[in-house]
Amino acid sequence: MLRIAVPNKGSLSEPASAMLHEAGYRQRKDSKELVLVDSDNQVEFFFLRPRDIAVYVGSGRLDIGITGRDLLLDSGSEAEEILQLGFAGSTFRYATRPGTATDVKEFGGMTIATSYPGVVAAHLADHGVEASVVRLDGAVETAIQLGVADVIADVVETGTTLRNAGLEIIGEPILHSEAVVIRRTGADPEDPKVQQFLRRLQGVLVARRYVMMDYDIRVENVEAAIALTPGLESPTVSPLHHEGWVAVRAMVPSKGAQQIMDELYDLGARAILTTGIHACRL
Ligand SMILES: Nc1ncnc2c1ncn2[C@@H]1O[C@H](COP(=O)(O)OP(=O)(O)OP(=O)(O)O)[C@@H](O)[C@H]1O
Ligand SMILES: O=P(O)(O)OC[C@H]1O[C@H](OP(=O)(O)OP(=O)(O)O)[C@H](O)[C@@H]1O
Ligand SMILES: [Mg+2]
């Protein structure tokens, strides 16, 4: 049985379970459940604190896990990213009160509060800056107001929390994070159980990002039309009973599908339909 770590709380928890459910796996009904066996699919899910997941996977106790790239890097565990999941996207950045500093290089001798001390210490070392790092569990933005730190380093999504705390961003993002699937560094990349799990999640990603587009078009315009809808490999072009016309079927990114439909219409395509993809294996 494949043993998989899933976040039990926080920003990653709900979208991770939703994605697993879409991929055909059983998910827990009660948020107090810690372990769930999906015998039909031969997997066992362990619902763990997001911050602990890289530790379990890095130790080899669990085969794979879903966590945030920032948490993986901060843990320093012997685990690596094998698939990006496209949710819980954020940047990790420094911020401070206006007037404190304008560049990381000015942080020397200051105190930096963060929930990610591993990431921050490594970043400061890379920039040759000697500063103290104070680890806090959350609500890090308040640390400056309460005099615990001069600078914070924290997750930024919309920037609203920083603005509300009267803080301004300093420098470029320390990293870009999103939810990722991880496994132990050096684990067998060909493991068929892991490969099947990844194909299922990739199927969900594709089903979320693409729609199927069908349309009819005159033969002489088909080349111009398929330039707009090249598909992932190659579009299907089938003859129609109506002479001089063909039917085209191709996957197109759902973002921008309406614009493609407008352009196809202008090219003379008709009966242009898009349908959602429920699941797929490429
Ligand atoms: N506002 C946010 N937008 C996107 N991703 C976020 C946000 N806040 C946290 N994350 C991501 O969630 C993961 C951290 O999960 P964790 O459960 O530790 O914190 P959380 O989601 O802030 O939950 P909580 O603070 O309620 O415990 C990280 O990968 C982080 O990048
Ligand atoms: O840029 P924003 O859209 O404002 O989002 C970023 C905030 O979201 C998270 O906080 P959370 O609500 O999880 O509280 P926490 O600080 O206690 O983790 C994160 O730690 C930031 O504080
Ligand atoms: Mg948080």
The per-residue pLDDT for range 215-232, each reduced to its tens digit, is 999 999 999 999 999 999
Residues with a beta carbon under 5 angstroms from ion ligand 3 = 138
The per-residue pLDDT for range 162-171, each reduced to its tens digit, is 999 999 999 9
Separation in Å, CA 92 to CA 114, 154, 267, 281: 10, 5, 45, 33
Residue 192: pLDDT above 90?
A: yes
Separation in Å, CA 85 to CA 21, 89, 120, 228, 268: 14, 9, 24, 27, 38
Q: What is the pLDDT of residue 69?
A: 98
Q: What is the pLDDT of residue 282?
A: 85
At 140, is the pLDDT very low, low, confident or very high (cuts 50, 70, 90)? very high
The answer to whether residues 82 and 199 touch, using CB atoms and an 8 Å cutoff, is no
At 189, is the pLDDT very low, low, confident or very high (cuts 50, 70, 90)? confident
> pTM of this prediction?
0.93
Which atom of ligand 2 lies at the shortest distance from residue 140's CA? 16
In this structure, which CATH number among 3.30.1050.10, 3.30.70.260, 3.40.190.10, 3.20.80.10 belongs to the domain 2-87+179-187?
3.40.190.10
Record: fold of 211-276: Alpha-Beta Plaits (3.30.70)
Residue 180: pLDDT above 90?
A: yes
Q: Greatest CA span in the chain, whole angstroms?
A: 79
Q: How far is the CA of 92 from the centre of ligand 3 (A)?
A: 12
Mean pLDDT of 102-127: 98
Listed by start position, the domains of the chain span: 2-87+179-187, 90-177, 211-276
Within 149-271, residue ranges assigned H as helices are 160-164, 192-209, 222-228, 257-266
Mean pLDDT of 248-258: 97
Mean pLDDT of 101-120: 97
Percent of residues, the chain, with pLDDT higher than 90? 99
Tell me: domain 90-177, CATH 3.40.190.10, correct? yes
**Which residues line ligand 2 at a C-beta cut-off of 6 Å?**
138-141, 154-161
Mean pLDDT of 232-237: 95
Percent of residues, the chain, with pLDDT higher than 70? 100
Q: How far is the CA of 52 from the centre of ligand 1 (A)?
A: 13
At 258, is the pLDDT very low, low, confident or very high (cuts 50, 70, 90)? very high
Residue 246: pLDDT above 90?
A: yes
At 208, is the pLDDT very low, low, confident or very high (cuts 50, 70, 90)? very high
Residue 16: pLDDT above 90?
A: yes
On the question of a common fold for 2-87+179-187 and 90-177, the answer reads yes
Count of all residues that appear for the chain in the document:
282
Which atom of ligand 2 lies at the shortest distance from residue 159's CA? 1
What type of residue sits at position 138?
G
DSSP-based three-state secondary structure for 276: strand
Q: How far is the CA of 209 from the centre of ligand 2 (A)?
A: 27
Map tokens 């009819």 to a residue.
216
Q: How far is the CA of 165 from the centre of ligand 2 (A)?
A: 12
The per-residue pLDDT for range 29-82, each reduced to its tens digit, is 999 999 999 999 999 999 999 999 999 999 999 999 999 999 999 999 999 999
